[in-house]
Amino acid sequence: MRPGGDRRDAAPRMLQNPAEARRVKTGTRILLTGGGTAGHVNPALAIGAALAGPGSETLFVGVKGRAEEQVVPREGIPIRFVRASGFPGARPSPAFARFLFDVFAGTTQAAAILLRFRPDVIVGSGGFASAPVIFAATLLKKLGLSKARVFVHEQNAVPGKLNRLVGRFAEKVFVTFPETLSLFPGNGALTGYPVRGRIGHVAPQEARARLDFTVPEGRTVVLAFGGSQGSRSLNRGLVDALGDLMPHAGRLFVVHGTGLFKGGGYDAEADTAARLAERYTEEERARIATFYLARSYFHDIASVYALASLVVIRGGSGSLNEVARMGIPALVVPKANLPGDHQVANARALERAGGAEVLYEETILSEGHLVETLDGALLARRILALAEDPVRRADMSKKGRDVLGIDAAAEIAHHVLHGRARVALDPTLVPAPTVVSNAVLLSRLEKAATAAGRSYRVEDVVEPRDLSWFRSRAASLLVHDEWEARNLGVKLLGLLGATDKVPLLLALLADRTRAPLFHRLLGGDFAQVGFVRRNVFTALARLDVVDAGVEEALLAGLADPYWEVRAESARTATRFAGRLARSAEVVAALGTRLSDPNLEAASAAAEALGALGGEEDALPPLLALAEHRFWKVRAAALRGVLSLVERGQVRNREALKRVLSGFLLTSTDFRPQFELKLSYRRVLEALSRGEEAP
Amino acid sequence: MIFWIGKLLAPFHAFSFLRLAEYLSSRSIGAALTAVLLTLWLTPKVIWWLQRRAFVDQVRETGIPSAFDKAGTPVMGGVVLVGVVAFSCLLWCNLGSGFSLLVLFGMVWFGAIGFVDDRAKMMAKSGDKGMSEPKKLLLQGAFAAVLVAVLASPLSPVPAHEASQLYLPFLKSSVLDNPWIYFPFVFVFVLLVGNSVNITDGMDGLAIVPSVFAISVLGVFGYLLGNAIWSRYLFYPLLPGAGELAVFASAFAGAGIGFLWFNAYPAQIFMGDTGSLSIGGSLAVASVLLKQEALFVILGGLFVAEAFSSQVQDKIGIKLLGRRLFARAPLHHAMAYNGLAETKVVVRLWIVAGILALAALATLKLR
C-alpha cells in the first residue's frame, strides 16, 4: 500500500538516541546487501541508517531490475549491482545451471566490489541478492583480504534455503520471530523487524484533520489492504463482505486500500469498483458508501493507522511487523504455497503470540475457471467478531506489541557495536514453526494410506485443526502453472478426503486446453497432462463421491486418449459399482474398452464389466476374450466372469462351464515360491504372534 | 606376466615350450580358463562375505509376478568380475601395450565408480540413494577426458595417421578425419556406452550374457585388426598390438561365464553398478581403441535400446510431458509388463543379443 520510499520525509533517522550513533567509530564503511522485493530492501536500509554515523560511508549492493534499483538511489545511497538468481532446486536443469553460473559470476563481481569498497561491516537482509556478497566476503576473509564483519537479518519466520546457508557464514543472524532462533543455533539473535523511520503515533483528532476524507465519530475503523500492489482475493473478498457488514453500518467504517496493481488482466482499483457495481444495487451502494471508502493508495498511512482498530492484511513480514508495532490487532490472510509457506508461518507465529488471527483463502470454481478466493461471508463474520470485542482487541494489541514492538534497528546497531543485546528479550526458545510442506504431507499420507488400506481415514493422520487449511492449500495448487504442482494438489485432495473439492477436480478433467505444440509433437496431448488426469480418477475413487458430474467424467475418462486414464477410470467405475445412475452407458463404454490396445486398460475394463454388468451385456464380451493375445487380459476376463457368478448374474451355469473349457490357459508368466524365504517368514510370524500372547 | 617370463626364458632350451606364451591364441585360452576357474572358486566365498557385511540388494517392487522377492540377494558381484579380469590380464596380457593398459584402466575406473555407488546405496538402505547423477557423470567424464588426451597424444597405441579417423560399419574407408569432431565424439561415446549396460542390468543373467557376446566380438576384431595379414585381407587399418584386446576379451568372457553360473535365475548374486559400469567402460574403451565406435549401435544394440527407451520414458515422458510414452521402460520391463516371465524375457533378449553379435561379426566381410 505504501512503498517504502514514501516515508522518508516523514521520518528522521531510525536511531532514537544520537549518542549511540556517535559510538560508531568515525568513517565506518557499511555495505548493505539484499533485495529482490521491498520487503528485503527496507530492513537493510533501516539497519544501515542505524549504523551510520559521522563520516561513515554506505554502499548498497543489489540486483539490477529489482525493487532496490528504484528504492535505494532515492535514499541518496550509492548502489552497485551483481548477478544473482533464486535457488531453483538442486536437480540438473537449465535453471540450475544458470543459478550456478549466476552464483559464480555474482560472487566474482561482489569480490571486486568488496576489494574496492573495503567495508568494515556487511549487513545482508536476505533475498537472493545478498548471497553472492556474503559468499565473496567469507572467501576474502579466509584469504585474509577482508576484515569485514558479516551480519544477516532474517525477516520471515521460516528462512529460505539460501538464507539458511548464508546464515552459517555470518557473525550473527538477527531474526524477527523467536521461532526462527532454533534454526541458527549459536549465532542467532532475536531483534525483531527493523523499519525505516517511525510511523509517528498521530493523535486521532489530528489524524482526522490530516486525512482528506472524513471518518464519522464513534465508528470502529477497519483498515484492509493487501500490500502496496494489492491482493486480488483480499480485494474481492472484502467487497463481498460488505453486504454482510451493511446491517452494522452505524458502528463500522471500512477503509480499503486496493493497491496499485495493473496488468495481467487485473486492475486492482477498477476491478474493485466493478465488483461493487456488479454485486450491489444502486440503493445498496449508497448505503455502503456511508461506511466504506476505497483508495488505491494512502499517502498518509500514519493517520489511517491512528484511526484503525483492526486491520485485514497479507502475511508479509513487513506489514505484519508494522501493524503489530503500531498495536493494531490483525486479521491475517496469508498467501499460500509461497517458498517455505513463509506468509503462513509468519501469520501463525503472530497468531500464536496472540497478536493476530488467521484466515485462509479457498480455491473455488468460478465460471469454469479455478480461482483463489476469500470467502466474503466468512471474512465479514471474522471482522464483526473482532470489531465487537474491544477487550480481545486490546489484548491482541498488547501481545502483538510485546513480540514485534522492539526497536529492531537500534537493537541490531547495539549488537554490532557491543556484541550483545540492548534490551533483554524473551530468551525462551520456541521450536521452529512446522508448516508441513505439501510434498512431505503427501508422503506422510501415502504411507498411512498404504499401511491402513481400506480403513484409511485422514483424520487419523492429520490434526483436525490443520485439515481444512491443508485442503485449501492443496486446492490452491490446482491453479499452479506447473503440472507437477497441480498433480501434487490432485493427489493431496484425494488423500485428504476433500469431498467438497470434487468440482475442482472435475474442472481439471473438463479443461481440454491443448499442450504446447512442442509437447504434442513429442507425444503430449492436453495442458492437464496424462498423470494429472489419471490421478484425478484415483482421487475420485478415494473420495467416493458419485454424482452426475462424476459419472459424466467417468464416461469421458473411458474414452480418454491416454491409456492410463482409461484404465484408471475403469477401475474407478468398479469401485462405484451399484451406485451409478448411468450404469448401462458405462457398461456399454466398458464393452468397447475390452478391445483397448493397451492391456492394462482392457484388463481394468474386463474387471469393471464383471462388477457392473449382467449376463446379457457383460458375459458374452468377456467370454469373447478367451483367446486374447495377452494372458493378463484373459485372466482379467476370468476375474470379471467370477464376479458375475458371485453376484448371481449367471443363470445357465452348465453352459458357462462348457464355454470356459475353451479358454486359452497357457501363459507366459508364473509366480515362483521361494520355500526358504516362506519358511523364514513363517518363523517370524510365529514369533510375533507369541509377543502378543502373554 | 607370463608373456614376459616367456620372452625371458624361451631362448633357453629347457623352457622352449614357453614360446607358447607369445602366441595370442594360447594366451587368450589361458586368460579365459584362468578367469572361469577363478570366478567359480571365488564367487561363493564372496557371496558369503557380502552376506555377512549386509551388502545385499534393497527392496524394489517391480510389479512383475515372476520377479518378486529378490531383496536380500548380495550385490556387487561386479567386484569379482573386475578383480578376476584384472588378475587374469596381469597374468596373460602384454602389459607393455597401450591397448591392454587403457582397457584395463577403463574397466577398473568405471568399476570403482560403480563400487562407490553400490556402497552408498547399501549405507542408505535404499535403491535410490546412490551417488548423484552429476557426480557420476563428472567422474566418468574425467576418465573420458584422460582417454581422449591419451589418444590425441603420441602415447596413443593407435597409429598417428589413424588417430582421428572415424569408420562406419559396411564402409571400407573412413568417413571423417577431423580431430575437432572425432575427439568430442569419443568423449560423448564413452559416457553413453559406459552407462548403457547399467540400465540393462535389471534381471537375472540379462546383462552378463549380451556383454560376453559383445566383448567376444570385439576380441575377434582386436585379433584380426592387430594382425597384418588379416587386416590387409579384410581392408581394415592395421592396429599393431590390438591383439591384446583378444586376450582381455577372453578373460572377460571367462569371468562372465563364471559369473553367470551364479547369476542365472534365480540369482545368488547380482553384479551391481560395479559390474555394469565396468562392463560399459570396457566395451566403450575397446570400441574406441578398435575404431569401431559406430559398430556399437549393432553390437550393443540391446544396450542401446534399453538405455534409449529408459531415457525417453523418463526424461521426455515422465518429466516433461507428464505421461508414460511406453507402457513400461526399459525394454525388459515392457516385456514383463506384457506378461512374460523374467526367465523368458532374459532368454529372448539373449537371442536378440546373439543375433546382433552375429550381425556385427558379419560387418567384417560385408563392406
Q: pLDDT by residue (tens digit) across A29-67?
A: 999 988 777 778 888 888 888 888 788 889 999 888 777
Query: In Å, how far is B218's CA from the nearest CA of chain A?
Result: 34
Phi first, then psi, for residue A462 (nearest 5°) are -110, 140
* Chain A CB within 8 Å of residue B341 CB: yes
Residue A62 · residue A41 · CB < 8 Å: yes
B70 φψ region: left (φ > 0), alpha (ψ -120 to 50), beta (else):
alpha
Chain B residues within 8 A of A531 when measuring between CB atoms: 318, 322-323
How many A/B residue pairs have CB atoms within 8 Å? 73
Chain B residues within 8 A of A562 when measuring between CB atoms: 323
pLDDT at residue number A9: 37
Question: Residue A255 and residue A301: Cα distance in Å, rounded?
Answer: 11
Residue A429 reports pLDDT greater than 50: no
Q: Which cell numbers hold the place of B200?
A: 540393462
A298 φψ region: left (φ > 0), alpha (ψ -120 to 50), beta (else):
beta
**Domain total in chain B:** 1
Cβ B339–A668 below 8 Å, yes or no? yes
Report the half-sphere exposure of A361 (CA within 13 A, side-chain side). Answer: 30
B284 φψ region: left (φ > 0), alpha (ψ -120 to 50), beta (else):
alpha
Which chain B residue lies closest to A561 (C-alpha atoms)?
B323
- Residue pointed to by grid coordinates 458430474: A549
Which chain A residue lies closest to B318 (C-alpha atoms)?
A531
For residue A523, give the nearest of B133, B325, B339 by CB distance: B325
| Residue A125 pLDDT level (bands cut at 50, 70, 90) | confident
Cβ A519–B321 below 8 Å, yes or no? yes
Query: Considering the domain boundaries, does residue B185 fall inside one?
Result: yes
pLDDT digits (tens, 9 = 90+) for B234-280: 988 899 999 999 999 999 999 999 999 999 988 999 999 999 999 99
Question: Residue B192 and residue B195: Cα distance in Å, rounded?
Answer: 6
- Top-confidence residue, A169 or A555: A555
For residue B69, give the nearest of A525, A562, A677 by CB distance: A677
Query: In Å, how far is B113's CA from the nearest CA of chain A?
Result: 20
pLDDT at residue number A181: 80
Which of A668, A670, A673, A684 would you mutate first to test chain B, the one with the most B CBs within 10 A?
A668
Phi first, then psi, for residue A466 (nearest 5°) are -90, -20
Classified as helix, coil or strand, B132 is coil
Query: Considering the domain boundaries, does residue B327 fall inside one?
Result: yes
Query: In Å, how far is B146's CA from the nearest CA of chain A?
Result: 24
Which chain B residue lies closest to A523 (C-alpha atoms)?
B325
Lowest mean pLDDT among A146-155, A400-409, B199-208, B253-262: A400-409
* Chain A CB within 8 Å of residue B338 CB: yes
- Mean of the per-residue pLDDT values of chain B: 89
Query: Considering the domain boundaries, does residue B232 fall inside one?
Result: yes
Closest C-alpha among A565, A469, A545 to residue A503: A545
Classified as helix, coil or strand, A222 is strand
Question: Residue B306 and residue A607: Cα distance in Å, rounded?
Answer: 32
Burial status of residue A659 (CB atoms within 10 A of its CB: 0-12, 13-18, 19 or more): middle
pLDDT digits (tens, 9 = 90+) for A249-280: 889 999 998 887 777 778 888 888 899 999 99
Residue A4 reports pLDDT greater than 50: no
Percent of chain A with pLDDT strictly greater than 90: 38
Query: In Å, how far is A151's CA from the nearest CA of chain B?
Result: 33
In chain A the domains, ranked by start, together with CATH numbers, are 4-192+413-418 (3.40.50.2000), 204-405 (3.40.50.2000), 438-660 (1.25.10.10)
Residue B138 reports pLDDT greater than 50: yes
Cβ B317–A523 below 8 Å, yes or no? yes
Query: In Å, how far is B311's CA from the nearest CA of chain A?
Result: 14
Query: Considering the domain boundaries, does residue B5 fall inside one?
Result: no
Classified as helix, coil or strand, A248 is helix
pTM of structure:
0.74
pLDDT at residue number B124: 75
Q: Which long-range contacts (CB under 8 A, 24 or more apart) does B190-193 make?
A: B190/B106, B190/B140, B190/B143, B190/B144, B190/B147, B190/B281, B190/B284, B190/B285, B190/B288, B191/B137, B191/B140, B191/B141, B191/B144, B192/B307, B193/B280, B193/B283, B193/B284, B193/B287, B193/B296, B193/B300, B193/B303
Cβ A668–B341 below 8 Å, yes or no? yes
| Residue B128 pLDDT level (bands cut at 50, 70, 90) | low
- Top-confidence residue, A15 or A528: A528
pLDDT at residue number A22: 42
Average pLDDT over every residue of A581-596:
94
pLDDT digits (tens, 9 = 90+) for A437-481: 888 899 999 999 998 888 899 988 888 878 888 888 899 899 888
Closest C-alpha among A503, A507, A477 to residue A491: A477
Query: Considering the domain boundaries, does residue B282 fall inside one?
Result: yes
Q: Which cell numbers hold the place of B68?
A: 518378486
- The separation between CA B178 and the C-alpha centre of its own chain, rounded to angstroms, equals 27
Q: What is the ipTM of this complex?
A: 0.88
Cβ A529–B339 below 8 Å, yes or no? no
Residue A482 reports pLDDT greater than 50: yes
Lowest mean pLDDT among A99-103, B10-14, B194-198, B357-361: B10-14
What is the residue range of B205's domain? 24-362
Average pLDDT over every residue of A624-642:
95
DSSP state of B319: I
Query: Considering the domain boundaries, does residue B246 fall inside one?
Result: yes
Query: Considering the domain boundaries, does residue B13 fall inside one?
Result: no
Cβ A668–B327 below 8 Å, yes or no? no
Chain B residues within 8 A of A529 when measuring between CB atoms: 321-323
Instruction: Find the chain A residues whose C-beta atoms sit closer than 8 A to any C-beta of B.
Output: 92, 483-484, 487, 515, 519, 522-525, 529-532, 562-564, 598-600, 630-632, 667-672, 674, 677
Q: Which strand (E) or helix (H) includes residue B291?
A: none
* Chain A CB within 8 Å of residue B322 CB: yes
Chain B residues within 8 A of A487 when measuring between CB atoms: 322
Which of B56, B323, B342 would you mutate first to test chain A, the one with the most A CBs within 10 A?
B323
Residue A519 reports pLDDT greater than 90: yes
Residue B306 reports pLDDT greater than 50: yes
pLDDT at residue number B34: 95
Closest C-alpha among A161, A171, A162 to residue A130: A162
Query: In Å, how far is A599's CA from the nearest CA of chain B?
Result: 7
Cβ B322–A562 below 8 Å, yes or no? no
Cβ A564–B324 below 8 Å, yes or no? yes
Cβ B66–A670 below 8 Å, yes or no? yes
Query: In Å, how far is A622's CA from the nearest CA of chain B?
Result: 19
Cβ A668–B322 below 8 Å, yes or no? no
Which of residues 1 through 60 in chain B touch A, CB cutoff 8 A?
A: none
- Top-confidence residue, A202 or A24: A202
| Residue A194 pLDDT level (bands cut at 50, 70, 90) | confident
Chain B residues within 8 A of A603 when measuring between CB atoms: none
CA-based radius of gyration for chain A: 31
With a CB cutoff of 8 Å and minimum separation 6, the contacts of B43 are B77, B80, B258, B259, B261, B262, B269
pLDDT at residue number A14: 40
